Structures are given as C-alpha cells and as structure tokens.
C-alpha cells in the first residue's frame, strides 16, 4: 500500500460515506405546521420553533431532527419541558414521543460568525438566509428534507432603526412596535413547503414597488429591496419580473398565487439566486443593472435569472422534489423554461448557441471527469455537490428532447397534467415523465434512460447515395464510453433533427410542408432511407442541438461551407463554422506535434469572409461565428490533451484569421460604431457585440490601430458594454494602453464591487506569463474581499476556468495557487471551494507530468485534518481516476 492509499483510508475513517438514492425511505414523522419566531441579534439570535408533529410509522420510533452549529436552549413537548433526548452528530434524537404532539424547540445561533452563508447569516448590515439544500438545520432542529411539507408562519423581531424591513415567506399578516426600540412583523405562507424554501431577510434597504394584474384579475404587489443608493439600478429587474409573470401565464398557463412577490438583492451569496416562496433572495449581480455599470450580457442575465426564480413558483415550489437525487426535476425543467423565456423575448438562435457553448465547453468535461453522474444521480456525499451543470444544463437538454419528441401542444398537455396531479406534493422525475407520457400517449420507457445514465453519447454517422434508385440512406451508431460512476452503457432514445440540402443549397422537403424531420435513434445502430432524392444531399445534423451528444460525420470543407451559407437553421450555420474551425485545430495540433508547418487554407478564410460581409445574418450571430471553441472546450476534441499544442495552434489560427480579414474587421468595427443613445434592445445589443468582437480581432494583429480605437471608444462610450469591450481588447491584445486604461477603470469604479468583478476577471484572464504575480498582488486590492464569493469567482475562478494555458503551466504554479486558496476556503466556505476546485480535478486526459503535479496538490488537500465533505468527495473521486 502506498502512502497515498494509506492517507485515503485515514481520511475515509473521519469522513461520512455516500448517500444512495436506493436508500430513500419516507420520514417516520410529518410536520403539518411550524410557527417560527426570530429575535434577531448579531451574535445571539433566539429562534423559537413550534411544530405540530404526527408519527406516520406503525412502530414507535425515535424522532431524529437535523441540526448544525446550534446552541440548544430547551425542548418542550405539549408545553412540558422534555429531557428524553440525545444530541448526536448532525442533529438530535428525541425518544418516547406520542403519536401526535406539539414540539417546541428553542435555540440560539450566531449569524455574524456564519461565513459559510448557509442558514441565517449577516450579508453586510442585513440578516439573510440561504436554506437550499440543507441550510435550515443551521437555524433550528428540524426534519430538514424536501419531502416534509409544512405550512410556515414567521414572526421576526429586530431593532427598528437598524432593521426597518423584516421579511419572510407568504403574506404579511401583522406588525407592531415593541419595547427598547424593537418591532415585529408576522408572515403566513398558506402553501405547504419544505424547509429549504424558507427565507428571512432583515435590513434597511431602498425599495422599488410596482404591481401586476394576473389573468384572473388579482392585483399582486411587487417589491424589490436593494442596498441604499441602488434604486437607479432596479428598473430592468422590475420589468423582467413583470415580463416573466406575463410569459408564464401565456406560454404555460401558470398564474402567481400570493398577494406579494418580493426580491431582495444581497452582496454575499454563494449562488445566483434562490426561489424561496414569495421572497426570492438574489445575488445582487442578477438584480442591479444600468447602462453605466452593467453590460448587455448583464441585462440579459438579470432577465434570465429573475425569470428562472419566478418560474420555480410552480416548478420547484408548488411542486417540489421528493429527495435531492430528484433535483433535476425542478432545476432541469426550470432551466428549460427560462431558456424558452429568453428565446421568446430575444434571439432564439443566439440564445441556443450560448446554451450549447456551456454544454460543450464545460458540461461535456463534467461528464468525462471524476464527478460524472446522471441528471438523477445514484449517490452523493455532500448535497451541495449536486448543483452541477449536469443537473441543470444537461437536465434542461433532456426536457428539451421531450419537447422535441412531443411537440409544443403535447408538451403543454403534459405540463398541465403534471400540475393537476402533483400540486402541493414532493415528487420524482418518474412522476414528471409519466405525466408527459400519459398526456401525449407516446411511449417514453426507453427515453427514461437519460435520467439514469451518465456520460456524453457519441453518434457516428455514415451515408450512402444510390443514384440509380435516387435513395439516400444515412446510418447512425451510438456509443457512450464508460464513466467514473458507470461502466456499462445502454442505447438511449436520441432525437435527431435533420435537414437535407441539395446541390444548390436548397432544403429538400422531408415531410409534407416541412424541410426538417426528427428521427428517433433508439438502437445501437439504425439506418434511415429517404426516397426521391435527385442528387447526393448535404445533411444538417442535430439541428438546434436536438440532443446533448457529440457526433462525427466526415464533412468536407465544401459541405460545411454550404451549411454555413444555406442551412435554414441558424444554429446549424454556427455549428458548421465551429466544426470547420475544430477540424483545422486538430490538424494544426498534429502538425505541431510532428514538427510540421501550421496552415489555414484559403477556402477556410473565404468561408468566414462571407460570414463577415453578410448583409442578411444577424450581427449577433456573426459575432458568435467568430467566437471559436475555447482552449478548455478544445480539450474535448482529443483523447490525449496537449495543452501547449492546443494553445499554440489556436493562437496561430486566430491570428491568421485576424490578419487575412484585417481590413474587413476594421470596416465591421467602424460600421457598427455608430450608435448614440444606449438601448438594451436586441438590435443594438447585436451591433455592440459584433463591433467589440471585431475590435478584439484587430487587437491581435494591429496594436497601433487597436490602441487608437480602444482609447477613442473609452473616451466616447456611454455604456459599460463598450467600455468593457475596449478594456477586453486592450487586455487580450496586451496593447500599449492596457495599464493606463485598466488603472483608470479601477480609479473610477473601485467602490462598486459588481463592476470591479468585471475588472478582476480581465486581470485573471490576462494572457501573460506573470499573471499569477498580478493576481497575488490583487488579493490586497482595495476592492477585493476574500470573504465575498463574487470576488473569489471573478479572480480565482476566472483564472482557473478561462486562463487555461497558464493555469495548466507545466511548472505546476497554477495548481499550487488554486490549492492554496482552497485550503483557506476549506473551513470558511467549503461550498464555494467545492465549485472552484473543478478545473483541478478534470485531469484524466492530460500528460503524465501535469497529472503528477495535480495529484500532489490533491493529496495536499486530502492531508488536511478538517477537510470539508464538499471537497473530500471531489478530491477522493479525482484521485481514484
């Protein structure tokens, strides 16, 4: 046994083992109501919880309640002091209880010292909660599991001067003044919910109010609470909320159900936002926006996340998940809904491209890494580690495949049946699929494998044209490689949306009146035959990314250019361009490895030239066509990853494109640099996006001209999008003006943390060999706060995720740097640490030198005597590769 093996066994002894889906058992007890009272103080908050409890098991079993970091004051059963209990690890066991009883538990907690940001904590000067997944147990002892639904009432008491706003779930029912300058507000949520949806916020805020009239005529009060001085950044958030409410009524026939809907923006938050019933707590990043401080992408992000949390009211709140293994039941479905919302309001193709880039750049790597799992996982150690791209983004793709197979009408019938059957319940992914199957009368038995099988399927495509019989046949073979969690794989039901182009670029009619057709691949190998085809067509495969797979078809350059020019589906045009770029990236990597010359043929340049000069393509789509596969995403193209060769080959190709199309990039920049007044509408967003993309290409090869454009753009711009676009060009091109413009930005915005996050991202992504020295110095920057998750993600996370070449420097400095930060976070905020570690554990296909360096850092983490479960799970699974 090696020293490393011995260390793993030692750590296993002091850490919890995996929880399994198969171990699920209903609770022996249910709670019908819980009345909470909070007396808020920074270090000694008093919490009284009075619950009506019922034993449902036939046997007289002890009641186990979860609890962490609590100071127990007293327990009363039916108003009598109760002492027949035992404090145990992770909770309390209460013995010899009657069948039905009133349980009162009094605890004290210290919100000011809670830097994990779970449970009740201080965010700046405000009290705030985060209870998903298992944070409520840091507030009081409780059945903190999603299948225990109770009606909550909450009374909040605090100093009236410091905390004039006291908020919780549901509708406000009472308020009043108390002695010693304190006051109270009482709330009642009429809808049963699990503890993870509980929320409390107390503070002094600026408030913007509005209202929304539902389709049934109910007047709902809308309220957004933000830190003082931020009212001018709330208009877009309120507009996004009202659009979300209207869209959900129109598209899904779902109406809001409380008298008030509240959003609170806080600075210290581990996630993006939280859908607590009637009181959504948001990371301020996804609420605050105006043209001076927010980019176009920020505006779109605010709209999407506000939509996402609102849509959870039905898909997550009114109907919740039975256990955390079913997390994709609410998250995958709600991501699909927010993606549809963004697509209906904006550009469907551009939104689809953005979703797919996330899948290919990051989720595919998760599928291939040590944390590989199905969208409904079978086991986990730490529930917070469930919040993955697989559960969210791939989960959304699974819902989208259902929509593709059923069509909009049958999908909506399935949604209506799902809501009718399960409103007020905690259910499973199987319940959702059953509703879709019953409503559509389409057999989804095979399709359900997507919920239980991990990994990214590979589809290999061949074709044959018979000119005599004028038939075209296309054959698909599917294969899913073994993953860390599963060795045996079965065929999946894969929808393939296909279009065929003739020799003139025209779409062939495949179904009556339709130029596309959805094929169902359900076997390991299937052949489909198309008749009356006059010449061999060019197949557009997986239109709209109709399934989350990798596919291989031996496209010629000419075929890819035909798709880029003529496909009716804009996603297919973009995808063909990506495929063409990736084809030559692989060739140039091989050339570097064999000592050959790097090259790009004229046909490649001409193809992208036609995109750049197109007068019909959406400028945003044109910009996306030039947003080529990232270095991180390019790793998915190779069985053995050569970090240096990928970086050098990709850099050569981008410079070659920038050089050969230089005059056109200059012309594109100047043509789209004409906007005056700022408007965050689709057309103007597209023009700014293409203009700043062109500027970044100019900066690659013409530093003098780019320097002039950057300085002029900063001097004249009236919005953050153009300011940041100029800064990005200066940073990525290492222009002469870089230091000066970065310092000027710092001096202007250093007091605004959210704006400075953008600056920290640029610093972390700087393409310089001394970037780590720069980052180390920025830990002492006046705007940086190691305790703030947003700051950490923007500096540490951006370096590890986006500066791939330098993070993976062969000297191991990037690995050591990230490990140092993870060690600091281990005891302070393990949830954030667990998210930041991802680039360090996805090393399977790297060279042996780098793998050895990474394992040394992982073993350094494993040796920590107090290694948090969040990190322990990922470290041990990575080392087991």
Final residue before a domain boundary, out of 520, 554, 588: 554
pLDDT higher than 80, residue 13: no
Q: pLDDT band at residue 104, thresholds of 50, 70 and 90?
A: very high
- Enter the DSSP assignment of 509: P
Final residue before a domain boundary, out of 393, 425, 452: 452
What pLDDT was estimated at residue 4?
41
Average pLDDT over residues 278-298: 97
What pLDDT was estimated at residue 1?
38
Structural tokens at position 394: 């791939």
How far apart CA 163 and CA 165 sit, in angstroms, is 5
Percent residues over pLDDT 90 in the chain: 97
In 3D space, the residue among 456, 409, 385, 432 whose CA is nearest the CA of residue 830 turns out to be: 385
Query: Average pLDDT, whole number, for the chain?
Result: 96
Cβ neighbours for 665, distance < 8 A, ≥ 6 positions apart: 612, 658, 694, 697, 698
3-state secondary structure of 658: helix
pLDDT higher than 80, residue 57: yes
User: Is 71 within a domain?
Assistant: yes
What pLDDT was estimated at residue 515?
84
3-state secondary structure of 779: coil
In 3D space, the residue among 398, 720, 689, 325 whose CA is nearest the CA of residue 545 turns out to be: 398
Using omega within 30 degrees of 0 as the cis cutoff, is the peptide bond preceding 563 cis?
Answer: no
Per-residue pLDDT reduced to its tens digit, 594-605: 999 999 999 999
- Enter the DSSP assignment of 514: B
How far apart CA 821 and CA 796 sit, in angstroms, is 8
pLDDT higher than 50, residue 611: yes
Helices 327-345 and 429-440 cross at an angle (nearest 10°) of 60
How far apart CA 589 and CA 646 sit, in angstroms, is 6
Per-residue pLDDT reduced to its tens digit, 107-164: 999 999 999 999 999 999 999 999 999 999 999 999 999 999 999 999 999 999 999 9
Average pLDDT over residues 750-770: 98
Other Cβ atoms within 10 Å of 770 Cβ, number: 9
Average pLDDT over residues 213-237: 98
Residues 60 and 187 in one domain: yes
How far apart CA 157 and CA 514 sit, in angstroms, is 63
pLDDT higher than 70, residue 593: yes
Contact 263, 306 (CB under 8 A): yes
467-499 residues labelled b (16+ CB within 10 A) or e (exposed): eeeeebebebbbebeebbbbeebebbbbbbbbb
Residues 466 and 441 in one domain: no
Contact 321, 170 (CB under 8 A): no
pLDDT higher than 90, residue 2: no
Residues 54 and 111 in one domain: yes
Residues 340 and 429 in one domain: yes
User: Is 494 within a domain?
Assistant: yes
How far apart CA 331 and CA 352 sit, in angstroms, is 18
How far apart CA 705 and CA 698 sit, in angstroms, is 8
Considering its fold, how many domains does the chain have in total? 3
Cβ neighbours for 411, distance < 8 A, ≥ 6 positions apart: 402, 403, 436, 440
Residues 401 and 518 in one domain: no
Final residue before a domain boundary, out of 452, 477, 507: 452
Percent residues over pLDDT 70 in the chain: 98
Residues 86 and 133 in one domain: yes
Alpha-helical runs (H) found in 375-515: 389, 395-422, 429-440, 449-452
Structural tokens at position 338: 């927010």
pLDDT higher than 80, residue 512: no
What pLDDT was estimated at residue 17?
83
Query: How many residues does this entry show for the chain?
Result: 881
pLDDT higher than 80, residue 5: no
Average pLDDT over residues 637-645: 97
What pLDDT was estimated at residue 881?
85
How far apart CA 201 and CA 130 sit, in angstroms, is 10
pLDDT higher than 60, residue 470: yes
Residues 336 and 483 in one domain: no
Domain around 139? 31-204
Cβ neighbours for 793, distance < 8 A, ≥ 6 positions apart: 757, 832, 835, 836
What pLDDT was estimated at residue 8?
40
How far apart CA 555 and CA 467 sit, in angstroms, is 20
CATH number of the CATH domain containing 439: 1.10.390.10
- Strand order across the 219-226 sheet: 206-213, 219-226, 260-266, 279-283, 273-274
Average pLDDT over residues 78-99: 97
How far apart CA 455 and CA 370 sit, in angstroms, is 11
Token pair 């609770």: residue: 27
Per-residue pLDDT reduced to its tens digit, 478-499: 999 999 999 999 999 999 999 9
Residues 526 and 391 in one domain: no
Taking phi over 0 as left and psi of -120 to 50 as alpha, with beta for the rest, 470 belongs to left
Average pLDDT over residues 435-448: 98
Average pLDDT over residues 849-863: 98
User: Is 316 within a domain?
Assistant: no
CATH number of the CATH domain containing 125: 2.60.40.1730
How far apart CA 11 and CA 862 sit, in angstroms, is 7
Cβ neighbours for 752, distance < 8 A, ≥ 6 positions apart: 293
pLDDT higher than 50, residue 877: yes
Residues 427 and 517 in one domain: no
What pLDDT was estimated at residue 15?
59
DSSP string for residues in 804-830 = HHHHT-TTSHHHHHHHHHHHHHHHH-H
What pLDDT was estimated at residue 657?
98
CATH number of the CATH domain containing 536: 2.60.40.1840
What pLDDT was estimated at residue 16?
65
User: Is 377 within a domain?
Assistant: yes
Gyration radius of the chain's alpha carbons = 28
Other Cβ atoms within 10 Å of 254 Cβ, number: 22
User: Is 761 within a domain?
Assistant: no
Q: pLDDT band at residue 511, thresholds of 50, 70 and 90?
A: confident
How far apart CA 825 and CA 789 sit, in angstroms, is 10
User: Is 69 within a domain?
Assistant: yes
User: Is 734 within a domain?
Assistant: no
pLDDT higher than 80, residue 403: yes
How far apart CA 287 and CA 306 sit, in angstroms, is 8
Residues 57 and 195 in one domain: yes
Per-residue pLDDT reduced to its tens digit, 702-725: 999 999 999 999 999 999 999 999
Residues 54 and 180 in one domain: yes
Q: What is the largest CA-CA distance in the chain?
A: 95
User: Is 769 within a domain?
Assistant: no
pTM of the model: 0.97
Of the candidates 104, 118, 309, 366, the residue annotated as catalytic is 309
Average pLDDT over residues 328-340: 98
Answer yes or no: 340 catalytic: no
Residues 466 and 387 in one domain: no
In 3D space, the residue among 449, 409, 457 whose CA is nearest the CA of residue 429 turns out to be: 449
Q: pLDDT band at residue 514, thresholds of 50, 70 and 90?
A: confident
Q: Are strands 458-466 and 471-479 parallel, antiparallel or unpaired?
A: antiparallel
How far apart CA 727 and CA 743 sit, in angstroms, is 11
∠ CA(765), CA(585), CA(807), 5° rounding? 25
């Amino acid at each position: 046994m090696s020293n490393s093996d011995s260390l793993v066994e030692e750590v296993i002894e002091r850490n919890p083992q995996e929880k399994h889906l198969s171990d699920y058992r209903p609770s022996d007890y249910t709670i019908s109501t819980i009345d909470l009272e909070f007396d808020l103080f920074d270090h000694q908050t008093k919490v009284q919880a009075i619950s009506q409890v019922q034993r449902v098991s036939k046997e007289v079993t002890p009641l186990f309640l979860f609890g962490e970091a609590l100071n127990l004051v007293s327990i009363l059963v039916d108003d009598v002091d109760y002492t027949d209990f035992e404090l145990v690890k992770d909770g309390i066991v209460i013995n010899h209880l009657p069948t039905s009883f009133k349980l009162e538990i009094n605890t004290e907690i210290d919100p000011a010292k809670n830097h994990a940001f779970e449970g009740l904590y201080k965010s700046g000067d405000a009290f705030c909660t985060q209870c998903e997944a298992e944070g409520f147990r840091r507030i009081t002892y409780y059945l903190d599991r999603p299948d225990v639904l109770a009606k909550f009432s909450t009374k909040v008491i605090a100093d009236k001067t410091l905390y004039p706003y006291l908020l919780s779930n549901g509708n406000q029912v009472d308020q009043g003044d108390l002695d010693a300058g304190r006051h109270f507000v009482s709330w009642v949520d009429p809808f049963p919910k699990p503890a993870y949806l509980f929320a409390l916020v107390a503070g002094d805020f600026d408030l913007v109010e509005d209202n929304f009239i539902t389709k049934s005529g109910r007047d709902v009060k809308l309220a957004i609470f933000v830190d003082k001085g931020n009212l001018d950044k709330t208009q877009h958030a309120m507009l996004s909320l009202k659009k979300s409410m209207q869209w959900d009524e129109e598209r899904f026939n779902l109406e809001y159900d409380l008298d008030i809907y509240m959003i609170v923006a806080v600075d210290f938050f581990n996630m993006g936002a939280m859908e607590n019933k009637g009181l959504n707590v948001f990371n301020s990043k996804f609420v605050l926006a105006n043209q001076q401080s927010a980019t176009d992408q920020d505006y779109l992000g605010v709209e999407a996340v506000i939509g996402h949390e609102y849509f959870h009211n039905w898909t997550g709140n009114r109907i919740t998940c039975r256990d955390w293994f079913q997390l994709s039941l609410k998250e995958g479905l709600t991501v699909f809904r927010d993606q549809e919302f963004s697509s209906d309001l904006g550009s469907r193709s551009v939104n689809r491209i953005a979703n797919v880039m996330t899948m290919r750049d990051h989720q595919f790597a998760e599928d291939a890494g040590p944390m590989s799992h199905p969208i409904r996982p079978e086991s986990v150690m730490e529930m917070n580690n469930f919040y993955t791209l697989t559960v969210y983004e791939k989960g959304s793709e699974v819902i989208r495949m259902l929509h593709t197979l059923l069509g909009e009408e049958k999908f909506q019938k399935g949604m209506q049946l799902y809501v009718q059957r399960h409103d007020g319940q905690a259910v499973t992914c199987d319940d959702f699929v059953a509703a879709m199957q019953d409503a559509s009368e389409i057999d989804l038995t095979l399709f359900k494998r997507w919920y239980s099988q991990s990994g990214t399927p590979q589809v290999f495509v061949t074709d044959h044209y018979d000119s005599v019989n004028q038939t075209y046949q296309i054959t698909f073979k599917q294969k899913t490689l073994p993953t860390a969690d599963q060795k045996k794989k079965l065929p999946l039901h894969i929808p393939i949306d296909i279009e065929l182009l003739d020799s003139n670029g025209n779409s062939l009619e495949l179904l009556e009146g339709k130029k596309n057709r959805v094929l169902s691949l359900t076997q390991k190998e299937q052949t489909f035959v198309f008749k009356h085809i006059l010449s061999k067509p060019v197949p557009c495969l997986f239109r709209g990314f109709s399934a989350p797979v990798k596919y291989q078809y031996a496209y010629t350059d000419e075929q890819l250019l035909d798709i880029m020019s003529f496909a009716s589906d804009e996603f297919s045009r973009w995808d063909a361009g990506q495929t063409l770029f990736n084809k030559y990236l692989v060739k140039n990597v091989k050339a570097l490895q064999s000592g050959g010359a790097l090259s790009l043929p004229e046909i490649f340049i001409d193809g992208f030239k036609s995109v750049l000069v197109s007068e019909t393509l959406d400028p945003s789509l044109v910009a996306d066509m030039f947003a080529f596969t990232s270095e991180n995403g390019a790793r998915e193209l190779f069985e053995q990853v050569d970090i240096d060769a990928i970086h050098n080959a990709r850099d050569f190709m981008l410079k070659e494109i920038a050089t050969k199309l230089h005059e056109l990039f200059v012309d594109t920049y100047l043509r789209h640099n004409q906007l005056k007044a700022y408007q965050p509408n689709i057309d103007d967003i597209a023009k700014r996006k293409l203009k700043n993309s062109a500027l970044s290409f100019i900066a690659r090869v013409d530093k003098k001209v780019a320097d002039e454009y950057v300085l002029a753009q900063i001097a004249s711009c009236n919005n953050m999008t153009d300011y940041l676009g100029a800064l990005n060009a200066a940073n990525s091109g290492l222009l002469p003006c870089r230091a000066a413009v970065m310092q000027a930005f710092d001096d202007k915005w250093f007091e605004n943390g959210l704006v400075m996050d953008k600056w920290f991202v640029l610093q972390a992504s700087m393409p310089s060999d001394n970037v780590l020295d720069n980052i180390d110095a920025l830990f002492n920057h006046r705007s940086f706060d190691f305790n703030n998750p947003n700051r950490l993600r923007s500096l540490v996370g951006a370096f590890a995720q986006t500066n791939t070449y330098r993070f993976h420097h062969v000297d191991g400095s990037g690995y050591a740097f990230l490990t140092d930060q993870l060690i600091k976070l281990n005891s302070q905020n393990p949830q954030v640490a667990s998210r930041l570690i991802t680039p360090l554990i996805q090393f399977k296909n790297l060279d042996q030198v780098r793998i050895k360096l990474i394992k040394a850092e992982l073993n350094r983490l494993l040796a920590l005597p107090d290694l948090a479960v969040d990190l322990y799970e990922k470290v041990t699974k990575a080392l087991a590769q």
